[in-house]
A and B are shown apart, each in its own frame.
Chain A
Amino acid sequence: MTMTRRDFLKLAAGGTGLTLAASVSPFGVRLLSAADMKGQVAFSPNVWLQVAPDNMVTVVVNKSEMGQGVYTSLPMIVADELDADMKQVRFVAAPAGAAFNDPVWGMQGTGGSTSVRHMHDTLRKAGAAAREMLVAAAAKTWGVSPAECETAPGLVKNRVNGQTLTFGQLSAKAAELPVPQNPTLKKQSELRYIGKSLPRLDTQDKVQGTASFGIDTFVPDMVYAAVERPPVYGAKLLSHDRDSAKKVKGVREVVAVGGGMAVCADTIDAAWAGRKALQAKWDGGTSPDLSTKTLESRFLGALKQKGVAAKKQGDVAGALEKSARKLEATYLLPYLAHITMEPMNCTASVRPDGCDVWIPTQNQTGVHQAAVKITGLRPEQVKVHTTYLGGGFGRRFEVDVAVEALQISKAAGRPVKLVWSREEDMGNDFYRPMNACTINGGLDERGSMIAWSHKVVCPSVFARALPGMMKGDVDPAAVEGVEDMEYEIPNLDVEYVRIETPVPVGFWRSVGHSHNAFTVESFIDELARAARRDPLEFRLAHLRNHQRARRVLEAAAEMAGWGTPPQIGQARGIAWHFSFGSYVAQVAEVSVDRDYGTIKVHKVFCAVDCGSVINPDNVVAQMEGGVIMGLSAALKEGISFAKGGVESENYFNQDILRMSEAPEIEVKIVASGDALGGIGEPGVPPIAPAVANAVFAATGVRLRRLPMKPQTVLAEL
């Protein structure tokens, strides 16, 4: 799908009313001015930016803003190369279209902490090309050579006579020039914005209450939909009372969708009341025995099965045999829901000749494809509008809610706004998988690790979501952070037992690292204790050739005063993990209430090396957020199941971390200057093991199951 000039102008609200034609450029679609233009011209050398006569620079962002700061970091990158004045920079969400594909993935989506990493080079080049054209336009105007011109934020200066022209004044002339194919990028020393803590461009919207999320979409003539769907896995609808539902004031119609029914009404309260009035009866589903208990015993039982090898290095059996000290531990982690603050929602308008979808999505390509399939329209007839996302965390990579809204709109023949209740959201997630693992470790007589055998039992996220990325029979997420761990252990086996249950699984912030960091970093701690070595020293001793890991560990330890006595009643735990291109180490200061079993995390010290940094304050914010979300999971979260379905409903039986439980967090960036790493996810993995290790330091109790609930702690004490 290509974007027309009019779409762009609408998108950028540059509204000059000019019609310009599109052609392909090195960066995607190039917008060229048509011959009959009059008046002032906005300048768009490529799909990523536009310079308007009023000097406003609009950066088109193809990545979804879900809190990670991409509506600031990507415009910063463009603005820096363009030499724009940040006060004149604004952003706009890209529509769904091939021109806006991620250049690495070949599809339009946001995930894997990749936005900056994947877009950086393209956007630098886009900004640089525009800057060269503006300079060329100025040089032409003054009759000097481009070399005699330089840029300052938002303008071009004539070095000879000191004259200046603003980007806006040059936009018309620049638009007539050819787009340079290989623009010169700024040197590191010339960068103005990259590497500086600039305020986010979306803060005002979000502080004034004007930011428009998916749930804030209004379309003329729309109805609200509420879906009555299977209460347990595989349930079939036995009966429902359509007439009662239709008697509810405001209810317009009831249509079949998926395995259930959708009630369409003039207001959301009428739609929800109509759904209740349906009095749907369901059978017991296809897995009536499914419960948290049966799931846990299945996972633990599967540890006895033979799996497939994800890694085989050296002779683990032989090394274990001759180990001076052997250790075995089994860990169990629960299913987790994403619990985005904005519940799943989508507004869809399916018409005979076109379709629009407004959705807070991480997966524009997936939504677009789903809409084409459901409507039978041509790709160019389908428009996907990305709103702000009230949290994503991987949940919004799924397109299930879009499919529902599209089907209902098609059946109802009018625009439909579908908003899930919190209960629907919690009960119909693609959960972070449950995970069981057994690790066998061996130490030699000097207390060095010589063997590590790791068996993981875990459902596959990739087999359903991205089957092309399966590594043979191994789900990459199930073993990430284990099979590629940096600890220098001569003999390492990683074995994967795939288990499938009726519970759908998906990408949850940091994916497999969210469980594997816990098991690896807990077991390392166990081995350190068994070797009677300091947990930090033990780690460093097995990371002799891994400088970046060492640096974050040492930095976090130094911040926390590792080796000095903690405050009375508190203890420290340390953990680190490498994920999504970044190294993060965390030290948690914890106390445990021996009467109630509650764990209080007082302070977390976090050191991060994400290679190079775009916006330091945003790196800090993402680390803070990662710690809080990881801590929430570690202390409080685990979706429960009963009678064949999800039992957790709302915050009363699945709470998340609250203000009083949030520790102070101190973040230090120890950037190595290496390649850009991600920041959205890497803050999550280390906190759970850091806390578990601190609990051990405080009490001598080793918690091998998450969440670390007070009753579990009490039972162990």
Chain B
Amino acid sequence: MISLDVNGKTYRVDVGPDVPLLWVIREHLKLTGTKYGCGLGMCGSCTVHVDGKSERSCQIPVGDVQGKKIITIEGLPKDHPVKKAWVKEQVPQCGYCQPGQMMEAAALLARRPNPSDREISEVMEGNLCRCGTYPRVRRAIRTAAREGGKS
């Protein structure tokens, strides 16, 4: 039995410690906002927060995060500045990569409330989007930085 703290709730899951956190979150807990994209940590679709840091959940054996605080897109507040900025800038197209993009962006802004364009590019480099929403992702992060700071 693995015990997990996800979005402030404690879950007990009957799963081996080596199973990637991604599959436990998605297929066992049915928090499906976190997506599978590559299984190698190269696309960012599976990004979640572990103790406040952005991590690729496909690369983390679930046994390693017992006792840590995991936040998924469902646990990011509905009115989080990043979510509001994503709506305002109309970022999503197909939407599949967006939870990962938003989790990465939220972690960036928590660390650097006013990131430069260069910092945005460097941090978001690991989050792929095939629909090509990069210009809007960039704009939404600037918007969230501006409006998140205000509130």
Residue numbers of A with Cβ under 8 A of B are 65-69, 199-200, 202-213, 215-216, 218, 224, 249, 267-269, 339-343, 388-393, 419, 421-422, 617, 621, 624-629, 632, 650-652, 656-660, 662, 664-665
Contact = CB atoms under 8 A, between A and B. Distances in A.
Contacts of B127: 659
A580 B9 CA distance: 50
Contact of A624 (B32, B125, B135): B135
B124 to A, nearest CB: 4
24 contacts: A67-B93, A67-B94, A68-B93, A202-B95, A207-B92, A207-B102, A209-B74, A213-B32, A218-B30, A267-B19, A268-B23, A341-B94, A390-B96, A419-B36, A422-B40, A422-B43, A624-B132, A624-B135, A629-B132, A632-B132, A651-B38, A658-B126, A659-B120, A659-B138
B135 A208 contact: no
A577 B52 CA distance: 47
Given A207-B87, A207-B92, A390-B96, A341 B129 contact: yes
Q: How large is the interface on B (under 10, 10 to 19, 20 to 34, 35 or more residues)?
A: 35 or more
Nearest to A421: B39
B94 A66 contact: yes
Given A267-B23, A268-B23, A621-B90, A658 B38 contact: no
Contact of B37 (A66, A422, A626): A422
Contacts of A627: 132
Given A388-B94, A421-B39, A662-B134, A203 B15 contact: no
Nearest to B84: A207
A342 B27 CA distance: 15
B131 interface: yes
B102 to A, nearest CB: 7
B35 interface: yes
B10 interface: no
B87 A199 contact: yes
A176 B96 CA distance: 42
Given A340-B96, A621-B136, 9 more contacts: A203-B87, A267-B27, A340-B94, A390-B97, A422-B37, A625-B131, A627-B132, A651-B43, A660-B125
Contacts of B19: 267, 269
Given A341-B128, A391-B130, A651-B38, A208 B95 contact: no
A217 B38 CA distance: 19
B27 to A, nearest CB: 6
B130 to A, nearest CB: 5
Q: Give the top 6 A-B pairs by smallest Cβ distance, nearest first.
A: A209-B33, A628-B132, A390-B96, A206-B95, A67-B94, A67-B93
B42 interface: yes
Contacts of B97: 341, 390
Contact of B42 (A341, A651, A664): A651
A269 to B, nearest CB: 5
Contacts of B35: 213, 215, 341-342, 390
Contact of A67 (B36, B90, B95): B95
Given A205-B95, A391-B96, A624-B133, A199 B36 contact: no
A216 B94 contact: no
B92 A203 contact: yes
B132 A625 contact: yes
Contact of A211 (B38, B43, B95, B128): B95
B94 A207 contact: no
B137 interface: yes
A216 B92 CA distance: 18
Nearest to B15: A267
Nearest to A203: B87
A69 B94 CA distance: 8
B99 interface: yes
Interface string B68-89: 0000111000100001001100
A716 to B, nearest CB: 27
A340 B131 CA distance: 9
Contacts of A651: 38, 40, 42-43, 128
Contacts of B38: 422, 650-651
Contact of A269 (B23, B45, B78): B23
A224 to B, nearest CB: 8
B93 A621 contact: yes
Nearest to B128: A656
Contacts of B132: 624-629, 632, 657, 662
A345 to B, nearest CB: 9
A294 B13 CA distance: 51
B113 interface: no
Centre residue among B36, B83, B95 by max chain A CB count within 10 A = B95
Contacts of B120: 659
Contacts of B33: 208-210
Nearest to A423: B39
Given A421-B39, A652-B40, A206 B98 contact: yes
A208 B78 contact: yes
Contacts of A422: 37-40, 43
A339 to B, nearest CB: 6
A659 B95 contact: no
B58 to A, nearest CB: 10
Contacts of A660: 121-122, 125
Contacts of A624: 132-133, 135-136
B20 interface: yes
B37 A341 contact: yes
A658 B129 CA distance: 8
Contact of A343 (B36, B86, B87, B137): B36
A713 to B, nearest CB: 21
